[in-house]
Amino acid sequence: MTTTSEPATTTVAAPQAVAPQPEATRPASGTRVDVPALEQMLLGRWPEERSEARRMVAAHPELWKREGITKEEHREITLAQMKQMVPYGQVLRAFPERLGGREQAGGNLVGFEELVAADPSLQIKAGVQWGLFASAINHLGTEEQKDRLLPGAMDLSVPGAFAMTETGHGSDVAAIGTTATYDPETEEFVINTPFRGAWKQYLGNAAKHGVAATVFAQLITNGVDHGVHCFYVPIRDPQTLEFLPGVGGEDDGQKGGLNGIDNGKLHFTDVRVPRRDLLARYGQVAADGTYTSSIDSPGRRFFTMLGALVQGRVSLDGAAITAAKIGLAIATKYAEQRRQFSPATGADELTLLDYATHRRRLFPRIAEAYAMHFAHDELLDLFDDVFSGREDTPAKREDLETTAAALKATSTWYSLDTLQECREACGGAGFLSENRFTGLRADLDIYATFEGDNHVLLQLAAKRLVGDYGKKMARAAKSPGGMAGIVAGQAKDAVLHKTPLRRLGQSVADGGGARSAGRLLDAEVQRALIAGRYEGMVAATAMGMRPALKADPVKAQEIFDDNQVGLIGSAAAWAELVRWDAFTKAVGTVSDPGTRKVLTLLRDIYGLTTIERHLDWHLTNGRLSTGRAKAVTATIDRLLKALRPHVLDVIDAWGFSQEHLRAPIADGSEKVRQDEARAYYRELRASGKAPISEKELRKQQAKQAR
């Protein structure tokens, strides 16, 4: 066609450009995901409880976060929202049936995790009240104490704080400075914070709303310190909200996020608490001051009491994954509609998802979200087994504590990183508060240090993993040839991987290519690489720390310090393996061929991006050749392109409605704008009135001049 039929200096023909075909939004035929069935599968073991929480969030806009308000307004709104939720019973599932609960440990957590879609401040303030303050009473108190103290904590007539963390000892709870000294003459405990570093800090409900607290302190009776115990302590007059005598505190003020929660400090000066308000499930003090406990070991008693509160880490793992999914759903839906840059004059602009770089930014994170989801489901099962009492054994509790620590640490970091990537992937639109990335990331920032700093939690998990390896070594040492076999095996492994030879059936001449790529899609190969890295790291760390067993304390600390980075890294590697195993197990339960094929594709993306993330280790330790390392990256790019037609299906299977996402860039309005722009330019070109670019004009003139 021509640009115009009217006289002009030069009449030129517009180029007959043919736009490259963008990837299909959804597959027209062939492999398809059964979205409803996958969504049902992802609801997990407690589908109705999770669905009920989602329905509550979607149906009640008054629960949604309001951007741009003051912290004072946000605090009062959040408290009102919590009061609104009490009649639903949604937040009371974990408590005894005789008191109005349902005694559903796992079902309670799945509902709690979904509150992050409404407002993270609401989720965490609810967690403070019912997951920490009330749960301390429920899990550390006697039956009489539950009957007396839980009703007020449950119905919110007694807002409470969970006073464990101190200014001077955050994650080191065993070393807290607050004391509770028993006075046999009055049968009371006298609680003191003897120095500034012993003040309780960062406590939700402490700055304004809390009228009681569960206070953790060193229990001292008859001159003996029996370690950390928990006490129920009134802190404010319920009518005036003024501090009671001996109690003081400060408001933490404006924070980087979660400003719907009134965090603050508490301190105590000769505050007297009746003997009956020592939460006495695991430790009791008689009238004369005699201490007794069903757990003889002070160390095991301490970890048992803290283990009763592990649900915080479990729920933060789930909430962080949910928040990341929300961010990924918003960013992916936007990228599927947003168009940018035309490949040729007159051609439609491509959607963002039709660019390999954009797929690289989002798709591996979607795959990792699935891996994290399935691992979290298994963590919930483990949590429910222990807290329901069905399998409450020391070994199960240790498994729960280790898994919760490793998964919470790595998932909260993943969520923060993912929300930032989603924000950037949406450009300027991602920076607008209305599209939620900035608010979600700010609110979730503290998750990295909630319930224990992530590095400390990984160290906790790694000590268990290294300890298990050490026990294996000790058993081997006692058996004939056992230790020699381990040493020989390590030597063989070192020789085998000094150059990248045969671990995965590769040869010296292996240069990558299709054959290498095909092997990388073998589940056994993926697991061997991921598990091999974990096993290699934990073995190296265990061997490095072994001399500390016979060293003096100063030298032992020096040895530990030399191995601390490797220790933490081994726990993170273990978490990656746990997620790969959980994902693979979940894929095996899917019967629909199309859904299974797409989930396998996602699992392979997760597995290979995990391997790619640590290619330096695999190369330096001889687990991969250079050629196969290159094949890892090439294979990932191919898999990401294969996922493109299915990505909206796997996002939709998460089950979020627009009421959960609440981002204008994900509600379809971007598609309306893009379609309007495309229609405008099509009509302009068809009208013959479209201007020609100066560049094209010069080309036409040069051609005519020849």
Is residue 579 within 8 Å of residue 372, measured between CB atoms? yes
The predicted structure's pLDDT at residue 477: 62
Q: Residue 396 has which token pair? A: 């199960």
578: helix, coil or strand?
Answer: helix
Residue 127 has pLDDT above 50, yes or no: yes
Please check whether residue 678 lies inside any domain of the structure.
no
598 lies in the same domain as 623: yes
One domain, residues 212 and 342: no
Q: What range does the domain containing 126 cover?
A: 42-155
Nearest C-alpha neighbor of 629 from the set 513, 493, 494: 513
DSSP code per residue over 144-163? HHHHHHHHHHHHTSS-EEEE
- 384 and 493 inside one domain: yes
Q: Give pLDDT tens digits for 149-199.
A: 999 999 999 999 999 999 998 778 999 999 999 999 999 999 999 999 999
Q: Structurally, how many domains does the chain consist of?
A: 3
Domain end call among 133, 155, 177? 155
Do 483 and 632 reside in the same domain of the chain?
Answer: yes
In a domain, 15, yes or no: no
For residue 255, being part of any structural domain is answered with yes
pLDDT in tens, 315-329: 999 999 999 999 999
For residue 684, how many other CB atoms are within 10 A of its CB? 12
Domain end, chosen from 92, 120, 155, is at 155
CATH number for position 596 = 1.20.140.10
Across 412-421, 466-475, 541-550, the highest mean pLDDT is recorded for: 412-421
Residue 5 lies in a domain: no
* pLDDT greater than 90 at residue 24: no
Task: Assess whether 65 and 89 both reside in one domain.
Answer: yes
Q: What is the mean pLDDT of residues 134-138?
A: 96
Identify which of 93, 110, 95 has the alpha carbon closest to the alpha carbon of residue 141.
Answer: 95
Give the end of a domain, one of 652, 675, 698.
652
Same structural domain, 595 and 615: yes
Q: What is the mean pLDDT of the chain?
A: 89
pTM flag (> 0.85) = yes
3-state secondary structure 99-144: HCCCCCHHHHHHHHHHHHHCCHHHHHHHHHHHHHHHHHHHHHCCHH
pLDDT of residue 58 exceeding 80: yes
Q: Is the same domain home to 432 and 540?
A: yes
**Is residue 427 domain-shared with residue 281, that is, in the same domain?**
no
pLDDT beyond 60 at 515: no
Residues 603 and 645 in one domain: yes
pLDDT above 80 (res 475): no
Are residues 255 and 371 both part of a single domain?
Answer: no
536-569 pLDDT, tens digit per residue, is 999 999 999 889 888 999 998 999 899 999 999 9
CA distance 462 to 223: 36
Mark whether 561 and 589 lie in a shared domain.
Answer: yes
Angle between the N-to-C axes of helices 105-114 and 356-387, in degrees from 0 to 180, rounded to the nearest 10: 150
Instruction: Report how far residue 421's alpha carbon sits from residue 325's, in angstroms, rounded to the nearest whole number.
Output: 12
Distance of CA 390 to the CA centre of its chain: 27
Q: Taking a C-beta distance cutoff of 8 angstroms, is the pair 101, 93 a contact?
A: yes
Lowest mean pLDDT among 19-28, 464-473, 690-699: 19-28
23 within domain boundaries: no
The CATH number of residue 140's host domain is: 1.10.540.10
pLDDT of residue 172: 85
Do the beta carbons of residue 79 and residue 125 sit within 8 Å? yes
Q: Which residues are catalytic?
A: 451
Task: Say what percent of the chain tops pLDDT 90.
Answer: 75
DSSP conformational letter for 275: G
Supply the CATH number for residue 252's domain. 2.40.110.10
Domain identity same for 427 and 511: yes
